[in-house]
Structure formats: C-alpha cells, structure tokens
Amino acid sequence: MLIHGAGGHAKVVVSILSACGERVTGVFDDNRIGLWQPGAHVIRPYTPDFKGSEKLIIAIGNNQDRKRIADSVCHAFGKAIHPAAIVDNTVVIGEGTVIVHGAIVQAGSCIGDHVIVNTGAIVDHDCLISDFVHIASAATLCGSVRVGECTLVGAGSVVAPGIAIGKECVIGAGAVVVRDVPDYAKVVGNPARVII
Ligand SMILES: CC(=O)SCCNC(=O)CCNC(=O)[C@H](O)C(C)(C)COP(=O)(O)OP(=O)(O)OC[C@H]1O[C@@H](n2cnc3c(N)ncnc32)[C@H](O)[C@@H]1OP(=O)(O)O
C-alpha cells in the first residue's frame, strides 16, 4: 500500500496497515522530502507512475487537503481498518477510508470515500457519512445521523439521534449537537451553537 502524507495521521495509518499485515511500499508528500522514521521510508513528491498498480491511502487529517489530493492523483485507493475496530458486517465503507483503533461502526451505517473514523469514535446504527468527513477521536454519533461532505466532527463531541449536519461544517471538540447544523457552520458548546 502507498500512502500520501507523512504527518501525525500518516503514522496512525502505518500502524493500522502494520496491524493488518500490510506493508507500506511508498510514501508521498510534496512538502516533506527525505527520510521518514516509521519504517525509514523515503518520502517523495507524488508521481502517478511510481508503483502505479498499487493502491493509495491519503493519510492526511485535514479534510479539504484530502479532497484536493484525491481529485488530483491517478492511483486506485485502498482502505485501512484496524483489527481492533468493530465494524458491523452490514456497513458499507468507501475507498480511501480509514477506521482507527477502537472505533465502532454499527449496523446499517454507510461511510463514504476518504473518511476518517478516528480512535475510539462511535458511529451508531443507520448513520450516513459523506465523503472526506473526519469523525475525530472519541466522538459519538447516535443512530441515523447524517454528516455532509468535508465536515469535521470534533473530538469527544456527541451528536443526538437523527441530526443532519451539513457540508464543510466544524463541530467543536466536546460539543453536544441537538439541532441540525447548516452547511459551512462552526458550532461549539452544550447545547452546540453556531459561532460563525
Ligand atoms: C487525533 C486528533 O487529533 S483528532 C482532532 C480533531 N480536531 C478537533 O477535535 C478540533 C476541533 N476544533 C475546535 O474545537 C476549535 O476550538 C474550533 C474549530 C471549534 C474553534 O476554533 P477557532 O475558529 O479558532 O475559534 P477560537 O479558538 O477563536 O474560539 C472562538 C470562541 O469559541 C470558543 N471555543 C472554541 N472551541 C470551543 C470548543 N470546542 N468548545 C467550546 N467553546 C469553544 C472559544 O473559547 C472562543 O470563545 P470566546 O469568543 O468567548 O473567547
């Protein structure tokens, strides 16, 4: 598996792949060239013909950056699901998506492409998570929650059942979301309120 990105989230993706018995065969990053400690990989700028038949995971935490890169690269995308994540067998998971250690995704949920369900996050039954979303560490989405493209659901936040969150929103760390959130909104607090 190839990965794109050599920051903190990339280290987590390497850890997941290693736990799955998969080898990282190349690391791309246009901004950090050189040697990279996890496995002492050489970091190189992205080139479409480098191991073109291997799959790629964009291992970058920022949703907009992940989307920009996904729209510009030529490799097919892989996924990474840690063996200690619990994912119900009815769940649909898109390409490029990463499910981190201890996350739980419940029955009937649908997770889009290039999503991150981070450490210990819970996505309960029948949730619909769009492409390029990040459900941050220890966030809890109750049943039937919908999250629009490129939204960050912050660490430790709680989203009540049936809530719809728009695209490109930011849900602040620790927020408790009890009402629908419009596109592009940033919300914080308990109950969560829009700050922009
Ligand atoms: C593995 C991982 O690391 S996963 C990490 C995932 N990332 C996260 O969970 C981070 C989520 N980000 C946050 O919570 C941020 O604080 C944001 C995006 C909500 C706000 O950031 P900014 O836009 O820079 O806002 P800023 O810091 O200027 O704060 C604006 C106001 O909101 C308040 N505020 C900011 N964040 C929060 C929060 N999470 N909860 C409650 N209030 C908050 C601030 O105290 C400030 O209040 P004031 O105007 O009364 O002083």
Q: What is the pLDDT of residue 38?
A: 66
**According to the model, what pLDDT value does residue 36 have?**
76
Interval between CA 49 and ligand 1 midpoint (Å): 40
Distance 27 CA to ligand 1 centre (A): 31
List of the chain residues with pLDDT < 50? none
Q: How far is the CA of 173 from the centre of ligand 1 (A)?
A: 7
- At residue 32, the pLDDT reads 80
Atom of ligand 1 nearest to the CA of 134: 6
Q: What is the pLDDT of residue 94?
A: 98
* CB atoms inside a 10 Å sphere around CB 83: 10
Q: What is the pLDDT of residue 42?
A: 82
Cα angle for residues 9, 15, 19 (degrees, 5° grid): 145
Indicate which residue's Cα is closest to atom 1 of ligand 1.
Answer: 137
pLDDT at 133: 99
**Dihedral through CA 49, CA 81, CA 7, CA 120, nearest 10?**
170
Residue 12 pLDDT: 96
The reply to whether the predicted model has a pTM over 0.95 is yes
Domains identified in the chain and CATH numbers: 2-70 (3.40.50.20), 80-186 (2.160.10.10)
ipTM comes to 0.97
Which of 75, 82, 125, 134 is labelled catalytic?
A: 125
Q: Is 125 a catalytic residue?
A: yes
Q: Look at ligand 1, atom 25, and give the residue with the nearest C-alpha.
A: 195
The predicted structure's pLDDT at residue 87? 98
